[in-house]
Amino acid sequence: MEVGIAVEVGIAVEVGIALEVGIPLEVGIPVSGARRRVVADDADPQAAGVRPRHARQVRFTPFGAAAQQRLATSHALIVGVGALGSHVADTLARAGVGRLTLVDRDVVEESNLQRQILFDEADARAGRPKAEAAAEALRAIDASLHIDALVAHFDLRTFERLPARPDLIVDGTDNFATRYLLNDLAISSGTPWIHGAVIGAEGRAMVVLPGETACLRCIMPEAPPPGALDTCDTAGVLAPAVAQVAAVQSLEALKLLGGLRDQLVRGLVVIDAWRASTALFLRDAKPRADCVACGARSFPALTEDPADVVALCGRDAVQVRPRTAGDVDLAGLAARLGDAVTGVELRRGMLRFALPDGSARITLFADGRALVFGSDDVDRARAVYDRYVGLGGR
Ligand SMILES: [Zn+2]
């Protein structure tokens, strides 16, 4: 095994983390990378200004009080708080990252509950925006954290309007278009980011340090064409695989935000959760001179015209976003729709309704963006939007 998370007993572990499978360390599982030792009882984390809730983390000496203090003043942006994003947000909040910004365009549905750990049935019944529901759950875990929740499609404009620049961007997205946007934003602005992806029981994660390590475009210059890869629609997704990828993302995030840059795992971590295997590829890969982002300093995702109608992975839903953004008079529209639709529900910043034949449900946000549920047919969703909202969407 080349790297990483080793579960074999009695086999020399080259790097790092040994999972204890109910076996005490004295039996002789070598733990080399992270120098583990027991801290003397008189070492008091609270004396170093550490909150009691973080005491166990600080007692792990490769992390320690200094990293904990840096965490408390750090800021992570998590783009997408679905499966990966909600796991990472949960871990970073509990670990004491001082500021979190959550961006997600979607609402909670029952089919999310299998793997999106910050949500419950009440969130799904109410169709709550994920960013808001996640922020509320995180505040219940630690009320002292600064959490900003943005219910929005993530694009360059969203990034530029953030209330503060993040120290790190975490990939919680489910599509390559947004990942290439994250990559180009990160490289152009010099912000580290941590890629993550899961399909079925397999996943991968990679830390990208602008100017120091290979970026997503270095290892895959262009996004794969639509239909070229499995999606969570076609291959499904298992929660334990999500948890493993999110664990790698979270741990690297804690190292980075804690100032432990030299401890980062550099390369592409590939996980097969079904077979409990983890491997590191492209170890210490550097930025490529022929990479359009790292070498040529050109950032296609920042200049491309973004798609305005996209099917949402695994959702039987389509997002429609009008090019001409503007505030929608939701109350006025609700009144105009009248009996033409059913199940009209008007709430702060959001209008929901269904077609009379039950073939589609629409959640419309005040900025004109809509989620059309009931089909992944983008043309049909555009047509439904045109017919009932009437802003165009082309
Ligand atoms: Zn690159």
Q: Please enumerate in sequence order all residues whose Cβ is within 8 A of that of 26, keeping only pairs 6 or more positions apart, or say none.
A: none
Q: Are residues 258 and 375 in the same domain?
A: no
CATH number, domain containing residue 140 = 3.40.50.720
The answer to whether residue 19 sits within a structural domain is: no
Strands 75-79 and 99-104: parallel
CATH number, domain containing residue 357 = 3.30.310.10
Q: Are residues 183 and 164 in the same domain?
A: yes
The answer to whether residue 313 sits within a structural domain is: yes
Q: Residue 371 is part of which domain span? A: 309-388
How far is the C-alpha of 95 from the C-alpha of 57, rounded, in Å?
8
Gap from CA of 138 to ligand 1 centroid (Å) = 34
The answer to whether residue 33 sits within a structural domain is: no
Q: Give pLDDT, residue 283.
A: 97
The answer to whether residue 53 sits within a structural domain is: no
DSSP, res 267: S
Gap from CA of 125 to ligand 1 centroid (Å) = 42
The answer to whether residue 62 sits within a structural domain is: no
Gap from CA of 216 to ligand 1 centroid (Å) = 6
Say what the pTM is: 0.75
The answer to whether residue 173 sits within a structural domain is: yes
Domain boundary among 243, 271, 303: 303
Q: Are residues 260 and 376 in the same domain?
A: no
How far is the C-alpha of 324 from the C-alpha of 321, rounded, in Å?
9
Gap from CA of 8 to ligand 1 centroid (Å) = 35
Structure tokens at 40: 């003397």
Q: Are residues 290 and 343 in the same domain?
A: no
Q: Give pLDDT, residue 10.
A: 34
Q: Are residues 237 and 103 in the same domain?
A: yes
Q: Please enumerate in sequence order all residues whose Cβ is within 8 A of that of 35, keeping only pairs 6 or more positions apart, or say none.
A: 61, 62
- Contact (Cβ atoms closer than 8 angstroms) between residue 85 and residue 110: no
Q: Give pLDDT, residue 313.
A: 75
Closest CA to 200 of 172, 234, 173, 154: 234
Q: 135-138, long-range: CB within 8 Å, 24+ apart, which pairs?
A: 135/102, 137/90, 138/89, 138/90, 138/93, 138/100
Residue 200 φ/ψ, nearest 5 degrees: 60, -120
Gap from CA of 295 to ligand 1 centroid (Å) = 7
Gap from CA of 194 to ligand 1 centroid (Å) = 14
How far is the C-alpha of 318 from the C-alpha of 315, rounded, in Å?
8
Q: Are residues 191 and 322 in the same domain?
A: no
Gap from CA of 261 to ligand 1 centroid (Å) = 19
Q: Are residues 277 and 132 in the same domain?
A: yes
Q: Are residues 282 and 322 in the same domain?
A: no
Q: Please enumerate in sequence order all residues whose Cβ is within 8 A of that of 28, keeping only pairs 6 or more positions apart, or say none.
A: 10
Gap from CA of 199 to ligand 1 centroid (Å) = 24
Q: Are residues 321 and 267 in the same domain?
A: no
Domain boundary among 303, 318, 343: 303
Q: Please enumerate in sequence order all residues whose Cβ is within 8 A of that of 339, keeping only pairs 6 or more positions apart, or say none.
A: none
The answer to whether residue 139 sits within a structural domain is: yes
Gap from CA of 267 to ligand 1 centroid (Å) = 13
- Contact (Cβ atoms closer than 8 angstroms) between residue 81 and residue 134: yes
Domain count, the chain: 2
Gap from CA of 302 to ligand 1 centroid (Å) = 15
Q: Give pLDDT, residue 285.
A: 97
Sign of CA dihedral 95, 123, 166, 314: positive
Q: Are residues 327 and 378 in the same domain?
A: yes
Gap from CA of 174 to ligand 1 centroid (Å) = 21
The answer to whether residue 258 sits within a structural domain is: yes
Gap from CA of 291 to ligand 1 centroid (Å) = 5
Domain boundary among 303, 326, 346: 303
- CA 110 vs CA 45, 115, 123: distances in Å: 41, 11, 9
Q: Give pLDDT, residue 44.
A: 65
Gap from CA of 315 to ligand 1 centroid (Å) = 31
Sort 213 into a burial class: Cβ within 10 Å, 0-12 / 13-18 / 19+: buried
How far is the C-alpha of 58 from the C-alpha of 40, rounded, in Å?
13
Q: Are residues 184 and 314 in the same domain?
A: no
Gap from CA of 186 to ligand 1 centroid (Å) = 11
Gap from CA of 303 to ligand 1 centroid (Å) = 17
Those residues of the chain that have pLDDT short of 50 are: 1-32, 36-42, 227, 391-394
Q: Give pLDDT, residue 296.
A: 96
Q: Are residues 152 and 211 in the same domain?
A: yes
CB-based burial, 310-337: b 16+ in 10 Å, e otherwise: bbbbbbebbbbbbeeeeebebeebbeeb
